[in-house]
Structure 1
Amino acid sequence: MTTTEHPAPASADRTDLRLLDAWWRAANYLAVGQIYLMDNPLLREPLAPEHVKPRLLGHWGTTPGLTFLWAHLNRVIVRDDLHVLYVTGPGHGGPAVVATAWLEGTYSERYSRVSQDADGMKELFRQFSFPGGIPSHAAPETPGSIHEGGELGYALAHAYGAAFDNPDLLVACVIGDGEAETGPLAASWQGNKFLHPVHDGTVLPILHLNGYKIANATVTARITREELIAQLEGHGHRLYVVEGGFDGEDPMAVHERMAATMDEIVAEIARIRTRAAEQLAAEGRVDRPRWPALILHTPKGWTGPREVDGLPVEGTWRAHQVPLAGTRDNPEHRAQLEAWLRSYRPEELFDDDGAPRPELAALTPSGDARMSAIPHANGGVLLRDLKLPDFTQHAVDVPRPGATQASATGTLGAWLADVVRANPTTFRIVGPDETASNRLQAVFEATDRQFVGEILPTDEHTAQHGRVLEVLSEHLCQGWLEGYVLTGRHGLFNCYEAFIHIVDSMFNQHAKWLEASRHIPWRRPIASLNYLLSSHVWRQDHNGFSHQDPGFIDHVLNKKAEVVRVYLPPDANTLLSTMDHCLRTRDYVNVVVAGKNPGPQWLSVDEAIAHCARGIGIWDWASTDGGAEPDVVLGCAGDVPTIETLAAAALLREHLPQLKVRVVNVVDLLRLQDAREHPHGLADREFDALFTTDKPVVFAHHGYPSLIHQLTYRRTNHSNIHVRGYKEEGTTTTPFDMVMRNDLDRFHLVADVIDRVPGLAVKHAALRQHMLDERLRCRRHAYTYGVDAPDVADWVWPG
């Protein structure tokens, strides 16, 4: 069904809508004031240059549409006692959401200096996009927001993430028509195939067509209405359309159409949910509903200046940011700004003290029902600890180092199944069709993949209600999990290591959100966003070069130390301990990299717990320094680098028994950093005790070598640290040839030791040559037989 016009319903008579229009005018007045004014907030005197900010920053064009929708949602919230979370896709419309939060009283509750009076209004205006103030976008500082203005394209994914497991929540997601052009948003329309109409909440997508981006028309505004409707109906929605405000149309007519349409949408959502509950009770299943979606078509910069300097503004790209750019120095622009502000008739909206008039305040929902105060937008208020089962019950038995073979992620999967069972409504696993590929398939003993589309008898572990969300879009996985944790729940994102880069920008924005929110007193801590990266660079030998990239951890470590953590557990028991820790943390992004293939297990569960608690430590059983100062330190971080380092240590023990070798394994990569730069960093004396102040260090790293140098550049012994890691040499080959191509193999590590320990290069040149010959032998074997030489493939620790 499409609705372009509707009679006003009895519940929204013209008197009510005139009050609603006044509320909307008040919000628009406050929004314009934020962009332009630093004094004279109620226009009690003629506008003068000193009343205008010297730098005008902000976005007007989308703002009146955002406030219009907010006003109409408030009407149905009050009438029907709804719980609505407002997700602002055009987040650069920060003036709108800040204005509505102040109008609802929430802003003054959060920031007492911004009171609901003339002085508070002045502060509200002055602080906006001003040094020492608040950003011009919707941001963590904005009450009611879970979506930052720079996150273009992610709004609808966040909305679905917020709706999962929140059956009483309606998420109204405003999508800008510029945002609608992005890849993540295009994929996000598929979210309705995963949303359960009984167990989950409701998402109402609202595509706000105002025609333009910054300086160009939008695609969705320039295709035919029929084509756009067909597109969204094809995504499974029932479409409603409201348009108006063009050619000077009376806003009251648009309010009438919008009120009628919103009533029908709310009623349709209620009907869908009632029918679904009845069907689920009777049949144990539900039909996938056609959820409502709304298209709102209004002019860009609606109610703003129609024309400036002889050029059209309202309804064009010129309204996008600041329509009147010269108001401080240009008297004509200043007069036009004053006329614009007075067109909202502020004397009708605010009393003598500058507070909203009582009849406007009466239109605002109360308490937590206000969209600016809803607890879901401050998820830490709702957050409850996970019930985490004892992971030691799933530990691998390791009677001695290297005696047991196991898959680290396979072992973890069995514990995650218990986590799912213990937390049936507050924990989800997301991933791009890789849960089983990453060997976490044991979780399907406890739950299924959730999918509300057609399910065939040949589908495995797929049901209409489950705890695993799989969709072949890393953007959706990231957005869903962000929305889920921001609204007070917990989760895990598992992904192939090389393809997690797809969400680099999304990670950036979430990390920035955490950085900012940690310093906002009323923002409560939320669950950490946890990544498990498997199918990693050293075991993508079969897929080849395109699947070989360990650089996400480098990207992560560019963020503030207070919010990022990176872990490289070397075996299954350390992975269990690490993940148990990560799921208990708050306000972090935790990145855990672990292999899925069977491999040697090094530590018993008790040893693993102690090692993970330290984050770094000497493995005495692999070392030959006997507690004395070593001749060389072999450092390692990551499962495959650990295997190669231990194999190198065994070769050195065999061929150079007099050499004092110390093996240091790193689980928590940030332990390498200076304690002054990261809270997990080692003090210099602790670092020096492990790595010495003057002895050679040969470090085998999971990722790019430069990262280790970046972390250790301030250390006393940095000039002696030599790092081996991935150096962008990859192809389809064997596992050992892969490490040889990057000089991370055991033979090259032994050669590195010979090259760097004083006195060995000349004396043991023959041994060095033998190591290089061994590399040639292993490569010939791989190229001849297609598999690694048995002595390498089946190597075990000789201890």
Structure 2
Amino acid sequence: MSLPLSDALLGRMDAYWRAANYLTVGQIYLQDNPLLEVPLERRHIKPRLLGHWGTTTGLNFIYVHLNRLIKAHDLDMIYVIGPGHGGPGLVAQSYLEGTYTETCPDIERDRNGMRRLFRQFSWPYGVPSHVAPETPGSIHEGGELGYSLAHAYGAAFDNPELIVACIVGDGEAETGALATSWHSNKFLDPARDGAVLPILHLNGYKIANPTLLARITPEELDALFRGYGYEPLLVEGDDPAAVHPQLAAALDHALARIGEIQRVARTAAGDRPPERPRWPMIVFRTPKGWSGPKVVDGLPVEGTWRAHQVPLKDFDKPGHVKLLEDWLLSYRPRELFDAEGRLKPELAELAPTGRRRMGANPHANGGTLLEPLTLPRFRDHAVEVPSPGAVEMESTRALGRYLREVMRLNADARNFRLFGPDETASNRLQDVFEATSKAWMAAIEPLDVNLAPEGRVMEVLSEHLCQGWLEGYLLTGRHGLFSCYEAFIHIIDSMFNQHAKWLKTTRQIPWRAPIASLNYLLSSHVWRQDHNGFSHQDPGFLDHVANKKADVVRIYLPPDANCLLSVADHCLRSRNYVNVIVAGKQPAPQWLDIDAAARHCSVGAGIWDWAGNAGEAEPDVVMACAGDVPTLETLAAVTLLRDYAPDLRVRVVNVVDLMVLQPPGEHPHALSDHDFDALFTRDRPVIFAFHGYPGLIHRLAYRRHNHDNLHVRGYKEEGTTTTPFDMTVMNNLDRYQLALDAILRVPRLAHLASDATDRYWTTMERHRLYISEHGEDMPEVAQWQWTPGTPLA
């Protein structure tokens, strides 16, 4: 246990806190006169006042104390800031420790640099008001609340020497994602992982309301966190002189407890039973807007919701400029900065140095630590396909075997984890359990299987936690994959948004090194959720992803196992993308051998000559498909067309990489107009069977030649508990509909249209009667197999 801090040290720490607070207020308000060298005037104040004051001084207070802990114990520590709108405080802290100037050399550590620091904050083309990618030391985009603690634990997994200090705002604590995140301690292995120190920042208010956790009794609050499995340490007060020694003692106790937990775990026997420790956390209760104006225009501000954003807003009111000047001078800036605007040396020496500064810690710029995965040869896990459609296979099962080897090859490096909400085996990836277990620090009973503290598969029935853990893991320099049922990936739509925005922004920040891509595998997809019903049927995540910037997102729809292996290998090697892979887990025909699959995936779309009959000639119709079930239905439709219209020239085009459909200039993967036309022609009807909502294909290809001849079939929000084939029938994606579409859109087949339409409706009636009576699909559908056709002369 550390000795009590001297009054002199506490006095310097308080001065450092005041310096950070001064810089915080300056960023929110000032565009000139940064050191108040002349009396403050309206012209020195920004015309638009943006930012959040209320939480920031508490964050500054904690940061100063974490610096003391880092220096005293040579800690490897990063921070995650849940109350992200406290951004000016974190910018101020990185400026004081020097990392801001190192990353942004034009923001010097003097008067001119301070002026630029103030002016850029919430200024057009400046820096955001919240903790953002531009903030050195941050791995957490603080614009949206709820994800801080999941990010913190994700950063700590497989980082045995790292401590993540996570400040959780009491407003943020009301979100579902954050409430679930407290359970992350049941997955943190003290023998192999780092530590997370949660600090619940209770300042009592949100924008306009009190916070729940600030209004329950201390006994109830303590019981809540003990129930979560923590040892809560309370620090509270409004007098800095009293709060400084309290927080220092709590942090010393927490650090000693973390060290003891890790020491015991790391010296225990290898086959130790899991003993879940009670990790420390701190409850830090201080006033909202601490050290700011207490009263403005006769209304209380400090300690109320009025301190949340900008306490002084209207500088046309008499006396408000003076109120701001008095507020700034209350920090006694002349005691903090010299005449040139530099932090005084006796204060500057309080900050850690080099990589120990939280703003400069390489874990917070994970790309600098990123090591490539050692990947197996995906060809070694190929499905043997002697001819198209000759064998059936569960595509994701083949991927599971590949991922098993990824786990084995990277076991020592411990830089790859698989994340999913209780669906690893359901999605046919269970072969990974031959190489690792599921991470688990709670009790293990005799009937349990594949649970162990050292497991590398992260399963918890919370998509929020899986996403947050993976993001924290990636942002600190590791690799992973998130497997999820397609319909329920929507639960993390907003989290995906924030990560995609982070990636877009960091591409423009030269000191941010690229990180491993965020890889999604969406299985149990819309077309094979017939047994679970309408609630499980939704392919709309693809539309959501496609909205993002083209230099960030990729969408892949491999039609079979070998294409899936090729795509997965590519995605695990990639950097700074979000890759979405949609693949089925049910037995399905396999179309391409591994060499053909690799070639096909490398270009993203291609003509399957073996499936059509047009050869080198111009086709009468293009039958296009994207997705495994649409591919199956398209090829079945082609066999029907051989009987319905034997002289019809058919070309089959399969699309693996959805983004190739966009025009050049819209996406890096876009096919040239020449190559696009070579696939889809410039004037022939295209019947496009698509995995998702049809509008997405039109949106991607609307500027292409021949778009007017493009007819897309896909999911149209029709579903229920039914048979697999009936799902396609309900959404007009079935083989009979596709064949009819081809006949109706080829002008020279107009004479066949009436009979073809009658045949279609007769078949549909027969289909519905059969499934109603037998509960399964007609034999001609269920037992269908691909048979090669004869190319037309």
Give the TM interval when normalised to the shorter protein. over 0.9
Q: How does 1:669-684 map to 2 (within 5 A)?
A: 669-684=658-673
Measured after TM superposition, the shift of residue 501 of structure 1 is 0.1
The equivalent position to 2:382 in structure 1, one of 381, 395, 401, is 395
Contact 1:671 1:682 in 2 (8 A): yes
Measured after TM superposition, the shift of residue 776 of structure 1 is 1.9
Paired AA for residue 197 in structure 1: P
Distance 2:618 2:427 in 1: 41
Measured after TM superposition, the shift of residue 591 of structure 1 is 0.2
Q: Which residue of 2 aligns with 1:618?
A: 607
Q: Which residue of 1 aligns with 2:282?
A: 294
Distance 1:668 1:772 in 2: 34
| 1:241-284, Cα deviation, whole Å (9 max, x unpaired) | 00011xxx3x1111011111111111111111111122245x53
SS of the equivalent of 1:622 reads coil
Contact 1:730 1:738 in 2 (8 A): yes
Contact 1:84 1:171 in 2 (8 A): yes
Q: Which residue of 2 aligns with 1:691?
A: 680
Contact 2:274 2:442 in 1 (8 A): no
Contact 1:754 1:768 in 2 (8 A): no
Q: Which residue of 1 aligns with 2:404?
A: 417
Paired AA for residue 379 in structure 1: G
Paired AA for residue 18 in structure 1: G
Distance 2:568 2:2 in 1: 54
Q: Which residue of 2 aligns with 1:536?
A: 525
User: Is the deviation greater in 761-770 or in 468-477?
Assistant: 761-770
SS of the equivalent of 1:191 reads helix
SS of the equivalent of 2:278 reads coil
Measured after TM superposition, the shift of residue 769 of structure 1 is 1.9
Paired AA for residue 430 in structure 1: F
Would you say how many aligned residue pairs link Structure 1 and Structure 2?
786
Distance 1:772 1:634 in 2: 21
Are 2:341 and 1:354 aligned? yes
| 1:612-640, Cα deviation, whole Å (9 max, x unpaired) | 00100000000111211110000100000
The equivalent position to 1:791 in structure 2, one of 759, 780, 783, is 780
Are 2:370 and 1:377 aligned? no
Are 2:316 and 1:333 aligned? no
Q: How does 1:703-782 map to 2 (within 5 A)?
A: 703-782=692-771
What TM-score, normalized to structure 2?
Answer: 0.98
| 1:264-323, Cα deviation, whole Å (9 max, x unpaired) | 111111111111122245x53441100001000000000000000000000000000000
Measured after TM superposition, the shift of residue 10 of structure 1 is 2.8
SS of the equivalent of 1:173 reads strand
SS of the equivalent of 1:532 reads strand
Are 2:129 and 1:142 aligned? no
Q: How does 1:295-310 map to 2 (within 5 A)?
A: 295-310=283-298
Q: Which residue of 1 aligns with 2:455?
A: 466
Q: Which residue of 2 aligns with 1:233?
A: 226
SS of the equivalent of 2:573 reads coil
Q: Which residue of 1 aligns with 2:150?
A: 157
Paired AA for residue 467 in structure 2: Q
Paired AA for residue 705 in structure 2: T
Distance 1:182 1:770 in 2: 55
Distance 1:564 1:74 in 2: 38
Measured after TM superposition, the shift of residue 457 of structure 1 is 1.4
Q: Which residue of 2 aligns with 1:24?
A: 17
Paired AA for residue 306 in structure 1: K
User: Is the deviation greater in 331-340 or in 503-512?
Assistant: 331-340
Distance 2:250 2:454 in 1: 31
| 1:519-567, Cα deviation, whole Å (9 max, x unpaired) | 1000000000000000000000000000000000100000000000000
Distance 1:434 1:677 in 2: 35
| 1:191-223, Cα deviation, whole Å (9 max, x unpaired) | 000000110010111110000000111111111
Q: How does 1:198-209 map to 2 (within 5 A)?
A: 198-209=191-202
Q: Which residue of 2 aligns with 1:3?
A: none
Q: Which residue of 2 aligns with 1:515?
A: 504
Seen in structure 2, the aligned counterparts of structure 1 residues 74 and 280 have a Cα distance that, compared at 3 Å, is: farther
Paired AA for residue 360 in structure 2: A
Q: Which residue of 1 aligns with 2:79?
A: 86
Measured after TM superposition, the shift of residue 9 of structure 1 is 6.0
Measured after TM superposition, the shift of residue 764 of structure 1 is 4.4
Q: Which residue of 2 aligns with 1:266?
A: 255
Are 2:248 and 1:255 aligned? no
Measured after TM superposition, the shift of residue 667 of structure 1 is 0.1
Distance 2:318 2:44 in 1: 13
SS of the equivalent of 1:284 reads coil
Contact 2:274 2:443 in 1 (8 A): no
Measured after TM superposition, the shift of residue 331 of structure 1 is 4.0
The equivalent position to 1:580 in structure 2, one of 546, 569, 592, is 569
Q: Which residue of 1 aligns with 2:299?
A: 311
Paired AA for residue 781 in structure 2: V
Distance 1:291 1:104 in 2: 29
Contact 1:748 1:772 in 2 (8 A): no
Q: Which residue of 1 aligns with 2:56?
A: 63
SS of the equivalent of 1:662 reads strand
User: Is the deviation greater in 128-137 or in 650-659?
Assistant: 650-659
SS of the equivalent of 1:141 reads coil
Q: Which residue of 2 aligns with 1:655?
A: 644
- Over aligned residues, Cα RMSD in angstroms? 1.0
Paired AA for residue 134 in structure 1: V
Q: Which residue of 2 aligns with 1:449?
A: 438
Are 2:552 and 1:566 aligned? no
Q: Which residue of 1 aligns with 2:791?
A: none
Identity %: 64
Paired AA for residue 307 in structure 1: V
Distance 1:256 1:784 in 2: 77
Contact 2:744 2:753 in 1 (8 A): no
Q: Which residue of 1 aligns with 2:486?
A: 497
SS of the equivalent of 1:420 reads helix
Distance 1:10 1:534 in 2: 56
| 1:134-172, Cα deviation, whole Å (9 max, x unpaired) | 100111111000111223000000000000000100000
Distance 1:711 1:238 in 2: 53
SS of the equivalent of 2:319 reads helix
Measured after TM superposition, the shift of residue 439 of structure 1 is 0.4
Unaligned runs of 5+ in 2: 789-793
Distance 2:274 2:715 in 1: 49
Q: Which residue of 1 aligns with 2:626?
A: 637
| 1:482-519, Cα deviation, whole Å (9 max, x unpaired) | 00000000000000000000000000000000000011
Distance 1:366 1:285 in 2: 40
Distance 2:598 2:2 in 1: 64
Q: Which residue of 2 aligns with 1:599?
A: 588
Unaligned runs of 5+ in 1: 1-7
| 1:558-583, Cα deviation, whole Å (9 max, x unpaired) | 00000000000000000000000000
Paired AA for residue 72 in structure 1: H
What TM-score, normalized to structure 1?
Answer: 0.98
The equivalent position to 1:483 in structure 2, one of 472, 490, 509, is 472
Contact 2:231 2:281 in 1 (8 A): yes
Contact 1:623 1:661 in 2 (8 A): yes
Distance 2:396 2:249 in 1: 53
Q: Which residue of 2 aligns with 1:5?
A: none
Please identify runs of 4+ aligned residues in structure 1 that moved more than 6 A: none
User: Is the deviation greater in 111-120 or in 755-764?
Assistant: 755-764
Distance 2:753 2:110 in 1: 83
Are 2:164 and 1:171 aligned? yes
Distance 2:6 2:275 in 1: 36
Measured after TM superposition, the shift of residue 40 of structure 1 is 0.5
Paired AA for residue 46 in structure 2: K
Distance 1:54 1:9 in 2: 48
